[in-house]
Amino acid sequence: MKVMILGAAGQIGKMVTDDLLTQTDFDLVLYGRNVSSRLSAKASDRVSLVDGDFKELDKIKKHLVDVDAVYLSFVAEDDFIKSLVELLEESDVTRFIAASVPDLYQEVTGKFQKWYRANTGIMWTAPPRKAADIIEASKLDYVILRITWLYNEEGNTDLHITEKGEPFVEAQVTRQAVSQFITDLLTGKADYHQASLGLGEPDTEFEKPSFF
């Protein structure tokens, strides 16, 4: 299997790269700004590094050859998502995993709601919601990840998953947990298809993240 990571030099992109290299035999295409220098240590017979930004759709298309799945490791605007979805639908790639944010469907509830909306804004009328609508209307085998506020804690992969239509109450989640879940989606260990999932850490129904 071959996976392209768009935005590969970000924190979660790098973690997913490491998880896939250690837990699978997949080949990877790491795409992003200056990845040939920023991720030079990752280059190998399994890893291709492609320097590019997200306006260079022709470059993305060129490197989609033989790719089975794409993980978009940042929250993209709807105009880019529209172009990317069209590109993927024209190619042989169907599996698409996209990072996003909570409250696309006004699902954030409980103690966390007031702080979240004060600090993030009204997401259900913002570009991430429009981007999610485009993905959900596509023919792709997609998973949208509505990820709450992130922090790092080695070894902590605790995760509570909520599906679309369920309330979202968790204030935080580790990047390590998110990375492992993305890896599980790509290997098939986590069996979700055409789904919009909320990702939070169990027992973090706080008024705000503990690190604020």
- Give residue-wise pLDDT tens across range 122-148: 999 999 999 999 999 999 999 999 999
Question: Which tokens in the block code for residue 76?
Answer: 């993209």
pLDDT at residue 92 is higher than 90? no
pLDDT at residue 107 is higher than 90? yes
Can you give the pLDDT at residue 145? 98
Can you give the pLDDT at residue 208? 97
Let me know how many helices (H) and strands (E) the chain has, helices first.
7, 10
Structural domain includes residue 207: no
Structural domain includes residue 212: no
Structural domain includes residue 119: yes
The percent of residues in the chain predicted with pLDDT above 90, rounded, is: 99
pTM (predicted TM-score): 0.97
Tell me the C-alpha distance between 129 and 76, whole Å.
10
Structural domain includes residue 210: no
CB atoms within 10 A of CB 2: 16
Looking at the structure of the chain, the number of domains it has is 1
Question: Which tokens in the block code for residue 141?
Answer: 């085998």
Structural domain includes residue 206: no
- Give residue-wise pLDDT tens across range 43-78: 999 999 999 999 999 999 999 999 999 999 999 999
Q: Do residues 127 and 105 lie in contact, with contact meaning Cβ atoms separated by under 8 Å? A: no
**Average pLDDT of the residues in 172-196:** 98
Strand ranges, E, within 11-101? 27-32, 47-51, 69-72, 95-100
**Average pLDDT of the residues in 167-182:** 98
CA distances, 212 to each of 72, 102, 148, 173, 206 (Å): 27, 18, 14, 13, 11
**CATH number of 148's domain:** 3.40.50.720
- Give residue-wise pLDDT tens across range 201-211: 999 999 999 99
Structural domain includes residue 95: yes
Tell me the C-alpha distance between 209 and 109, whole Å.
14
**Which structural domain range is residue 8 located in?**
2-200
